[in-house]
Amino acid sequence: MTLTQLLSRLEFIKAPAPVQNKELGEVETVVRGIVQAVRERGDAAVRAYSKQFDRYEGEALEVTRAEREAAVAALDPQTRADTEFAIARVKAFAEAQLGTMQPLEVESLRGVHLGHRIIPIQRIGAYVPGGRYPILSAPVMTIVPAKVAGCDEVIACLPPNAHPAMIAGCHLSGADRIFRVGGAQAIAAMAYGTESMPPVDKIVGPGNAYVNEAKRQVFGQVGIDQLAGPSEIFVVADETADPRMVATDLLAQAEHDIHTRVGLITTSREVARQTLKEVESQLEDLPTANVARPSWVEFGEIVLAPDEATMIAYSDHVAAEHLQVHTRDAQATGRKLRNYGSLFIDKRASVVYSDKCCGTNHTLPTMRAGRYTGGLWVGSFVKVATHQWMDPEGVEAVAPPAMRQSATEGMEGHRRAAALRLEAQA
């Protein structure tokens, strides 16, 4: 089914407003200047941008051990307990995932030995956003899996004006070093290094448009996890769905940002109609409606599909970051879906649990990237690197075809390299 054919089968009960990103060109230009300045002037440029963008006047970029311990000591006891609960859950799941990744040694032909090793990335840069709210789970999601993977060093960067509890979260999660550096300048500093900060091998973690653009520009110099856009949630539902619950979940995600994309895809006109009413009703007393309402007005959608197959096809086209399944047999529906960042099966599974503390990672693909990648996980912090070695029988098996192929291609150096080994054991 083509996209045109698919859309022709859908009825938009509530359609998103047309959206254009007019700021993209400006963001790219600004970030290019920041990256170049940090690359050339190091700490001096970082301090200048911190003063300009974050109004930070301090000279010290790195958070000291004493400051880290003070931030932890200042945590409310329940907040600390909840943070440690989240760390334990994320750690346990990351350890279980790492356990599924095994080294390999195989003799593919007699005398031809092939394999791979699971090698931790040496140094990770974890960007911890400040954002609209102090997202206490943010450092947990980026730092803990890296430490489980066995990375030698994790460098955490967060805006100078970030809530002190965020420093505590970085410390409790196992960050080796923490820096008060935010925005595009943090990405540039981690990528190229400065007098204070060593360069990292890979940068992970979400951020605003400037952070995202900086990650795009430094990719190649370092690895990155993904290019993340605003958050997304969609719900696929049949007539058994609870409109009140669906609306609550949509608005819970909408309060992240005025650009959050939220949507319902359902086979039930009544569920669609009642969910629309519930959203409008709940917005009346939602304390974060100043954020959630613009998100809903501009990006919210409710789509009526004629059957389950069309509902699933449109969901796979959207490839939402978070995808909830509210159907009579949610497990069966879930098995039919393939494009999403993380799947929440049945009504008891809520995005909020994953966002905060249940163990799966909340750093997920957006902007339809769920078509080709999953989210951040312990495997994001290791390399699967192959190796090979030969017995004499192996050389006898592979040298002749390698020589013939090299000769056909006109690559005489290659042919000689293969021939030499064959001659050496004659």
Question: 256, 278, 321, 362: which one is catalytic?
Answer: 321
Question: 171, 256, 322, 326: which one is catalytic?
Answer: 322
The DSSP 8-state label assigned to residue 371 in this structure reads G
Torsional class of 193: left (φ above 0), alpha (ψ -120 to 50), beta (otherwise): left
Q: Which residues pair with 266 in a beta bridge?
A: 237, 304
3-state secondary structure of 345: strand
Cα–Cα distance, 147 to 150 (Å, whole number)? 5
- Residues in the chain, overall count: 426
Q: Phi/psi of residue 253, each to 5°?
A: -80, -35
* C-alpha distances in Å from residue 125, one per residue of 18, 155, 190, 201: 36, 5, 6, 8
CB atoms within 10 A of CB 130: 20
Active site residue 28: no
Residue spans of beta strands (DSSP E) within 207-355: 223-224, 232-237, 261-266, 301-304, 322-326, 342-345
Cα–Cα distance, 171 to 162 (Å, whole number)? 14
Nearest C-alpha neighbor of 200 from the set 254, 145, 153: 153
Exposed / middle / buried, residue 191 (Cβ in 10 Å: 0-12, 13-18, 19+): buried
Tokens of 259: 């650009």
* Residues 117, 387 contacting (CB under 8 angstroms): yes
* Residues 61, 43 contacting (CB under 8 angstroms): yes
Active site residue 321: yes
Spell out the residues 6+ positions from residue 278 whose beta carbon is closer than 8 angstroms to its own.
243, 244, 246, 247, 248
* Residues 344, 364 contacting (CB under 8 angstroms): no
CB atoms within 10 A of CB 112: 17
Cα–Cα distance, 156 to 178 (Å, whole number)? 5
Active site residues per annotation? 321-322
